[in-house]
Every structure is written in structure tokens, then in C-alpha cells.
Amino acid sequence: MSTVLGEFINLAKIQSTKTIIKLTESDVDTIKEIQILLKKKGLYKGEVDGITGDLTQKAFAEFKESVWLDSPELLGASAAAALLEIAADHKVTEQNDRSEPIPESSKGSKTGSSMKLPNGTIVYENELIVIGIPLTWGEFTKKMYQGSRVKRDR
């Protein structure tokens, strides 16, 4: 994040000092930073020139609306932080599932160990929790209770 703050020093300063200014009164360098980030987000189609024109104001207003911020004419700490999130290029990745999959032939079948739920329903290890979603009671309880078992000497 330090390299992001180094590249967008004006926005980082607004964020850290909790300054609020009108977008039209922002300095050229701050507007350039905003234009670069809005362009990266695909909201700004103009040139990065540091001028607070109609395209910049429209793109900024659309951006603020997309992140649930009001006052489209104001640049404050929340808007600066949201813009810096674009700069940080956050991405969500899937976690690796290391459990062994149950063979398709036995998924959804009422086979394997059974247990009684608090509501009195009996479910089976290979039975799907919700029809159409490939998660069985056995997979769910294995992950839920993994590590809670106590090994006993015999």
C-alpha cells in the first residue's frame, strides 16, 4: 500500500487529514490522480489533464454513487479511500478446497452414517444439504467437527 500512497500522494493526504473540498476547487495534481483512477475503473473517458470538466465531474459522481457515497461535488476522506482502493487493485481469489470430492454416483443418496438434527429429521452422510448444491452433510460435519475430536488410547 505504501507504493500506492506514493503514487497518489494528494488523495492519501486528503484521506489521512479528513479534508473535505469541492471537486471544482481541487488542485490540478489531485484532479489528475482522480482522473487516472476513474479511467482505470472505466468511468472516465477523457484525457488526464487535471481539469475539472464535465467528464471528470460526471465520472466522479458515478463513482461516488457506485460506492454508496453522497455529495457528488465533494471530495473527502471516504471518497479518497475508495479511490485508493482502485489504485491498490484489490482482487478476490477463491480458496483452495483440499477436501476429497464425493463420487457423483453417491452424492445425494441416503447412504453412509446418519444423524438426527435438532428438529428430528434424520440426515445421511452422502445426502445433499440443499438439492442442486454439491455439499453433503458428511462434508459439512467433517469440516465443522474436524479438530474437535479427542484421540483416546486403547
* Same-domain status, 67 and 125: no
* Same-domain status, 80 and 126: no
| Its pTM surpasses 0.85 | no
Q: What are phi and psi of 91, to 5 degrees?
A: -130, 145
Grid cell, residue 12, equals 492519501
Could you list the pLDDT tens digit for every one of the 154 residues in the chain?
Answer: 444 556 899 999 999 998 899 999 999 999 999 999 999 999 999 999 999 999 999 999 999 999 889 899 999 999 999 999 988 875 544 444 455 555 555 556 777 777 777 778 777 777 777 776 776 767 767 655 555 444 444 4
Q: Indicate the number of domains in the chain.
A: 2
CA 131, chain centre distance (Å): 28
Residue 97 φ/ψ region, left for φ over 0, alpha for ψ in the -120 to 50 degree band, beta for the rest:
beta
Give every CB contact of residue 72 below 8 A, 6+ residues apart in sequence.
57, 60, 61, 64, 65
Final residue of a domain: which of 36, 53, 88?
88
* Same-domain status, 64 and 117: no
